[in-house]
Structure 1
C-alpha cells in the first residue's frame, strides 16, 4: 500500500491529540522525521509543552475540538503559536491501528499540507460573554421547569388557577400563590386579592381556588417558590455581569437593535456567539452555514436528498428564532411581510427559521459595515402586487368557506 504524500506548505508544525489527562504532541518539519512527546494536562505540564515546542521552532499547531479539554490547552498555547482547532469529523485518519501517536502524526501531516480548516474561536472577552449568556439560558430553562412543577402541585390540589388567569406567574397570580404558600386556603379571602379586570371573574376565581389543599401541597409550594426566587437572584447577577461586557461593545449592541425584532437581549446573544469581527467569516453565507440555519447541499447521482438544517450552534439558532417570532409581531417592515408570506405557504416554524437566517445576514452586514440596518427599497408596483396577491388569497379562502357552509 502506497503512503499518501501531500505538498508541504507550513515549514514546522505540531499536531496535538488532546485527552482529559494527557496531550500527545507530534512535531513535523520539512524533513520526514517526526518527534513525539506525551505531556499531562496540568498547567505546569502545558507550560513545559510550550517550551518544548518553542525550542523546536514550531509556528503552527492543530488539535481536535475534543469536548472541553481543548480549552485549557488553547488558553496556555494561544499567546505563542497560531492554533487551529479542528472539527474531529474533518481529520479522520485512514482505517488501521488507531493510537494516540498515530493520530497526532496524522494531524501534524494534514497541518503542514494546509489541508485543515480551523473552527471559529472568538477572542477572550467574547468567550467569557458566551459562557455568561449560555448560563443565563440554562437558568431560565431551570426556572421554567420549576414553574411547571408548581403548576403540577396546584393541579394535584385541584386548584384551577390557570383556568381563570392568563398568566399564573403574573403579579396577580403570584400574590394568590404566595398566600396559599403561607397557609391561607379560603377561596373567598384569596379571591379578594383580585384587582383590575380580574375582579369581574371573582366568582370563577372562587370556584377555581376551591380544592383539596393539604399541608404537603403547602410545603411543596414553599420549596418551589424559594427555588424560583433563588434562580431569579442568580439571573439578576448574571445579567449585571453581561451588561459589563456589553458596555465594551455598546456601539455594536445599538447597531444590532436597529434590525426589526432584535432587542438588547437578542443582540447580546448574537454578539456572545459571533463577536464583533466579521473578518473571521468569508461571507454571510459562511456565517449562516457555521450557525446551521441555512439548508445544506446533499446531491448524489443527480438527485437531491435531504437538505435540512444542521444542529450546529443551537444557542445562536434559538436566539435568532426568538428574534423571528418578535418580527412576526411587528408591522410595516420587509421582514414581517416575508414572515407572514412564508408562514402562509410553509408553516410558522419553517418561516421562523427562514427569517432567523435573514436576521443573521442583516447582523453580519451591520457588524461588518458598522452602519444601521437599512430597510430594503420596495417599489410601489411591488407593494401593489403584494396587496393584490393577499386579496386574491383571502378571496379564495372566503369562497372556500362559503362553499363548505352551503354544503352543511
Structure 2
C-alpha cells in the first residue's frame, strides 16, 4: 500500500471530487470529474489505494473500484472530519480523505456485496413502510379524537371500530369528513398490504440465509437482529476481537483516560449503529423480563440474573446485548454453532 498512489474520492450524485496523491504525499491532481469520467478513471488507473467516506453510494463505488483491481478503503465520515485543516470544500474534503487513507490504525468499514445490500435495502424499505402505517393510523385516531371519538391503540382496534363509527349517525361527524376518514382508511389498508408484502419477502430471505439462522439461536436475537449482525460483522474479518465488534455498534462504555488514570463512562449516544443497537437492546430486554420470573436454565441466564440483582434491568440488558455481539463475532469467525451451557 505504501508504494501505491492514493485516489481519494469525495462522493456525490453527478459531480465527484477526485484527489490523486503519490506515495510520498505529493498531490498529483485534485479536480472535479463526472460520473462517466470517474468510471473511466478507475479502470485506466494503475493499482492504487482508492479511499472514500462511508456515505450514500459508497458500497457501489467500492465494489466498482475492487473490480477494477484497486485496494479500497471506506472510512467513517467522523474520522475524516478530524483530518480537515481548512474550510469545508469538496477539494479540502478529498485531501482529508487522502490524508487519512494510508494510516494503518484507521480501519475500513466492511463493504457489502450486492446480495447483502439488497437485504439491507429490503429491511430499510420495510421499516419505512411500517413507519407510514403507524403515522397514518395515528392521524386517523387523532382526527377522530378531536370529535370526542376515542379508538384504542393498534391496527386491529382501528379496523374493528372504524366501520361502526362511520355508520353511526349520532356521533356528529359531518358527512364530508366521513368521506375523508373513509379515504384515509382505504389508503391505510393499501399501506398495510404493502408493508406485509415486504415483510413476507424479507422473512423468506432470512429463512434461506444460513448465517441468519445460526445467529437467531442467540438469546434475544430475532430475524431483524440476525440480519443486522450478519451485515455488520460479516465473517469477523474487519475486527480484531469481539470487544471491537461490540464497540462499533456502541455497546461498550466510552473511555476518557489520561495520565495513567482510566475513566470509564456510559455508552456513546453518537458513535454507534443506533438502529442495530436498539434492536439488540429490545431483544435483550425481553430476555431479562423472561429470566427474572423463573429459575435460570443456563450459565448465561445465571450470570444475567445475578447482574440484574446488582445493577438493574436496563444495565443488564445492555450487558447482554454486548455479550450477544461478542458471541456472534466468535460464531462467525470460527464458523461454529451456538451451544449454551445448560445448568445440570
Which TM-score applies when normalising by structure 2?
A: 0.81
1:298 is displaced (CA, Å) by 1.5
Partner of 1:196: none
Partner of 1:203: none
Partner of 2:38: 46
The structure number with the bigger radius of gyration is: 1
Partner of 1:118: 108
Distance 1:364 1:336, change over 3 A: same
Give the whole-Å Cα distance in 2 for the aligned partners of 1:350 and 1:34. Answer: 49
Give the whole-Å Cα distance in 2 for the aligned partners of 1:228 and 1:148. Answer: 11
Distance 1:303 1:211, change over 3 A: farther
Give the whole-Å Cα distance in 1 for the aligned partners of 2:151 and 2:57. Answer: 48
Partner of 2:161: 176
Q: Deviations over 1:161-207 (max 9, x none)?
A: 43xxxx6533x652232333xx3227xxxxxxxxxxxxxxxxxxxxx
Distance 1:76 1:254, change over 3 A: closer
SS of the residue corresponding to residue 50 of structure 2 reads strand
Q: Does structure 2 retain, via aligned residues, the 8 Å contact 1:14–1:28? A: yes
Residue of 39, 62, 68 corresponding to 2:56: 68
Distance 1:233 1:168, change over 3 A: closer
Unpaired runs of 5+ residues, structure 2, are: none
User: How many aligned positions are there?
Assistant: 335
Partner of 2:168: 185
Say which structure is richer in helix: 1
Q: Does structure 2 retain, via aligned residues, the 8 Å contact 1:333–1:375? A: no
Give the whole-Å Cα distance in 2 for the aligned partners of 1:212 and 1:344. Answer: 54
SS of the residue corresponding to residue 17 of structure 2 reads strand
Q: Does 1:262 align with 2:245?
A: no
Q: Does structure 2 retain, via aligned residues, the 8 Å contact 1:293–1:353? A: yes
Give the whole-Å Cα distance in 2 for the aligned partners of 1:260 and 1:114. Answer: 35
Partner of 2:7: 14
1:102 is displaced (CA, Å) by 5.2
Give the whole-Å Cα distance in 1 for the aligned partners of 2:220 and 2:105. Answer: 40
Q: Does structure 2 retain, via aligned residues, the 8 Å contact 1:298–1:307? A: no
Give the whole-Å Cα distance in 1 for the aligned partners of 2:327 and 2:304. Answer: 15
Q: CA RMSD in A?
A: 3.2
Partner of 1:327: 287
Distance 1:135 1:32, change over 3 A: closer
Unpaired runs of 5+ residues, structure 1, are: 1-7, 187-209, 380-408
Q: Does 1:308 align with 2:300?
A: no
Give the whole-Å Cα distance in 2 for the aligned partners of 1:124 and 1:287. Answer: 23
Q: Does structure 2 retain, via aligned residues, the 8 Å contact 1:86–1:118? A: yes
Partner of 1:351: 316
Partner of 1:368: 333
Residue of 72, 80, 85 corresponding to 1:83: 72
Distance 1:290 1:112, change over 3 A: closer
Partner of 2:212: 253
Give the whole-Å Cα distance in 2 for the aligned partners of 1:337 and 1:220. Answer: 55
Q: Does structure 2 retain, via aligned residues, the 8 Å contact 1:150–1:224? A: yes
Distance 1:321 1:228, change over 3 A: farther
Residue of 240, 247, 252 corresponding to 1:282: 240
Give the whole-Å Cα distance in 1 for the aligned partners of 2:192 and 2:58. Answer: 32
1:234 is displaced (CA, Å) by 1.7
Q: Does structure 1 retain, via aligned residues, the 8 Å contact 2:207–2:213? A: no
Deviates more, 1:318-327 or 1:334-343: 334-343
Which TM-score applies when normalising by structure 1?
A: 0.70
